[in-house]
Chain A
Amino acid sequence: MRRLAGRVLFALLLAVIALYTVFPFYWAIVSSLKSGSALFTMEMFPAQPAWDNYAAVFRERPFGRNIANSVLVAGSVVAVSLFLGVTAAFALGRVAFRGRGMLLAAILAVSMFPQVAVLSGLFELIRWLGLYNNLLSLVFSYLIFTLPFTVWVLTTFMREMPRELEEAAMMDGATPWIVLRRVFLPLMGPAMATTGLLAFIAAWNEFLFALTFTLTDEMRTVPVAIALISGASSFELPWGRIMAASVIVTVPLILLVMVFQRRIVAGLMAGAVKG
């Protein structure tokens, strides 16, 4: 009886959490279907949905191009940081050497400066490298926040891996590179998928660097493109259209996550079979 009550309470708690999480997004969808004064009303289901907001997003700006840019940038950032992160994590997590703690602390320190403080330095660096108004500038600058994160998380997971696996492989004469690829990569699947996903979304949502290091519409990424949606005058906030744009960029991301999560589970199963 008490168990049942506990389960019911737990389910109730989850329902409240789900409502808290989802309702704002539902409200964003509702708002994206409203225009003019309707935005200031509490209508839960817009009687006359204003689909035009969605059309307007693509009509007025190269929004498709902006989405493509974001996918390209976030994808490259994730690929680069996962590669650098996993090799470094192998060294930091599996091999004992002096200065390891210092190195980890130094990497973490990079994440301790406010973004606005590193902006000017990065800006100079990017101009010096000739990457201004180039998507590569974003791939480069985003490493400043994705690298410390991926290195730390992957190192932590790498440490938790059982030692026996590695020793067996090494007895067979495998080089560290082979050990990393054949033994650890398959096992690190869920951790890498999660880290990659979090890094992807962080890069996808980044605004300040994207605004400062690109200049023309063809190079803008999604958050900047959304911030550039403005009304007839600089004071007016065309809320319906901004919400439409946000829904457009969020839905594919959620779909991606759902596919990704299936893969995580699938990866686990495959690992289990092989192991």
Chain B
Amino acid sequence: MHRILALLCTVLFAQPASAAVTLTLSCGSVGIEAQLCREGAEAWARETGNHVAMVSTPSGSTERLALYQQLLAARSGDIDVLQIDVIWPGILAAHLLDLTDRLDATSRAAQFPANIENNTVDGRLVAMPWFTNAGLLYYRRDLLEAHGLPVPETWEALSATAKRIMNAERAAGQDRMWGFVFQGRAYEGLTVNALEWVASHGGGTIVAPDGQITIDNPRAATALTQAAGWIGGIVPQGVLNYAEEEARAVFQSGNAVFMRNWPYAWPLMNAADSAVHGRVGVALLPRGTGEDARHVGTLGGEQLAVSRYSRHPAEAVELVLYLTSRAEQKRRAILGALNPTIRDLYDDPQVLAANPFFRTLRETFENAVARPSSVTRGRYNQVSAQFWNAVHAVLSERGTAAEVLDRLDRSLIRLRRGDTW
């Protein structure tokens, strides 16, 4: 509590009393996310006597990134504080202020390490973690119970369980039943999903934190071959063009046993009008088999950053510190089920009372792996596009995993142009 007070004091007294400034903040556009963002910003504005103008940007992350790039490349000070995706710190680093000095050792230790590491580019902390996200396994509790099967721990067990239940349900007349749905469309989401398969088999993260290209390895090939084997069997072919919502549509209509998705789907699954209301459970995503196999969820989430071209950088940094503070994250977790980046909030009784499923999540976030966006920096989107295209090729049987990964490896080396990214 006294940390918050200390923070409030710095916020209150660091401001020269006379100069009220207007900051422009870009966060979500509507819904609870935007509402919480606005409330937080208004609270800060009241306390400091400044003004905050809100700018809505599209939630589709590609459009938002394009817009930011356009503004930042023109060195425009039109937006002071930007909400950025977890994979953008590396891409936008050159345009963002360094916040390293503003996060002391205790606050740093309170955060999930993956988030801090992800937001650090060349030793500069370019964005503050705001809320986090990671992949989860949704399962049909009722179906697993009816068939007397446990929640699968490994991908192999998931395949077997899914197959058994799917076949039994189809035989019982539920001919639309499928075993598993995930995000298989050729887009960033496929990178996220495939990274979970690969990393959970101990196959690394495409590019290691030291810049080495590690994707061409037998474990990665095993993981991708296994996934390719699902298509047309336990997974509908249409999954090759599913993003998050398409997958949710199938699972929420009661037509799939398992689904990989983000935590956002949880409240929707359990809404009164959901076909699977009260019959869904969440668990960690399965691990692979063999050594180094572990449960892995790919890190997602949003950060707040300050534009280098802001006309009021000092105030903008204060606003970021306020919005990402423990108190604000707690409020957002309770009211909007937005996942905090501060670890002990997952043990907070008020947060847990509002969101009982957060208990499972903490472990997911502790196990989260980040995409290699900070190390590959401006080239990340290219690395990711090549990776998802390679995975898409394996899934749609346009090549075996070994061949495709070999080709990917060579083309990533070409992309790196030298020893560093």
Contact = CB atoms under 8 A, between A and B. Distances in A.
B264 A233 contact: yes
Interface in A117-137: 119-120, 123-124, 127, 132-133
B71 to A, nearest CB: 9
A127 B74 contact: yes
Contact of B61 (A35, A232, A234): A234
Contacts of A40: 249, 252-253, 275
Contacts of B67: 211-212
A213 B79 CA distance: 14
A230 B73 CA distance: 27
B39 to A, nearest CB: 15
B53 to A, nearest CB: 8
B214 interface: no
Given A35-B273, A37-B273, A228 B264 contact: no
A215 B80 CA distance: 13
B271 interface: yes
Indicate the size class of the contact surface on chain A.
35 or more
A228 B58 contact: yes
B28 interface: yes
Interface in B7-58: 28-33, 53, 55-58
B244 interface: yes
B58 A211 contact: yes
B245 interface: yes
Nearest to A119: B70
B193 to A, nearest CB: 14
B336 interface: yes
Interface string B69-111: 0100110101100000000000000000000000000000000
Nearest to A231: B31
Given A37-B274, A211-B67, A234 B252 contact: no
A227 B60 contact: yes
A217 B56 CA distance: 7
B48 to A, nearest CB: 22
Interface string A21-42: 0000000000000011111110
B267 interface: yes
Given A36-B271, A40-B252, A235-B244, A229 B30 contact: yes
Nearest to B302: A234
A236 B264 contact: yes
B403 interface: no
B70 A120 contact: yes
Indicate the size class of the contact surface on chain B.
35 or more
Interface string A214-231: 011100100010011111
A160 interface: no
A3 to B, nearest CB: 46
A227 B58 CA distance: 6
B268 interface: yes
A232 B264 contact: yes
A132 B265 CA distance: 38
A172 interface: no
Contacts of A164: none
A65 interface: no
A234 B33 contact: yes
Nearest to B189: A235
A127 B74 CA distance: 9
Contacts of A215: 55, 78-79
Nearest to A38: B273
A94 interface: no
B245 A235 contact: yes
Given A127-B74, A215-B55, A236-B268, A228 B249 contact: no
A211 B67 CA distance: 8
Contacts of A231: 31
Contacts of B338: 233
Contacts of B249: 39-40
Contacts of B28: 230, 234
B274 A36 contact: yes
Interface of A: 35-41, 60-61, 119-120, 123-124, 127, 132-133, 211-212, 215-217, 220, 224, 227-238
11 contacts: A36-B272, A36-B273, A38-B273, A61-B30, A123-B70, A215-B55, A228-B56, A228-B57, A234-B61, A236-B268, A238-B31
Interface of B: 28-33, 53, 55-61, 63, 66-67, 70, 73-74, 76, 78-79, 244-245, 249, 252-253, 262, 264-265, 267-268, 271-275, 302, 336, 338
Closest 7 CB pairs of A and B: A233-B264, A36-B273, A230-B59, A228-B29, A234-B59, A235-B244, A232-B31
